[in-house]
Amino acid sequence: MPIIVDLDVELAKKKMSVSELAAAIDITPVNVSVLKNGRAKAVRFSTLDAICRVLDCQPGDILRWVPETVPVPEGTRS
């Protein structure tokens, strides 16, 4: 997936656990873990707003896009 979630990095910077963040933004620790591990299919803006408020960061500190690499078939490299 080309969207990378760096929530674990921001949590480490703030020395905050998943449980502490979950309590601060009023969602379950399981849902924070799903987001942190990149398994979430979507995130509500209200949740993203709460995360940024608590961690004092920007959405781009948590989410980033990287292009997918397309494998080059053998024999076609120049």
72 falls within a domain: no
Regarding pTM above 0.85, the answer is: no
Q: How far apart are the first and last CA of the chain?
A: 28
**Cα 78 to Cα 38: distance, rounded to the nearest angstrom:** 36
CATH number of the domain enclosing 45:
1.10.260.40
pLDDT tens per residue across span 12-62: 999 999 999 999 999 999 999 999 999 999 999 999 999 999 999 999 999
Is position 77 within any domain?
no
Count the domains in the chain: 1
- Parent domain of 56: 3-65
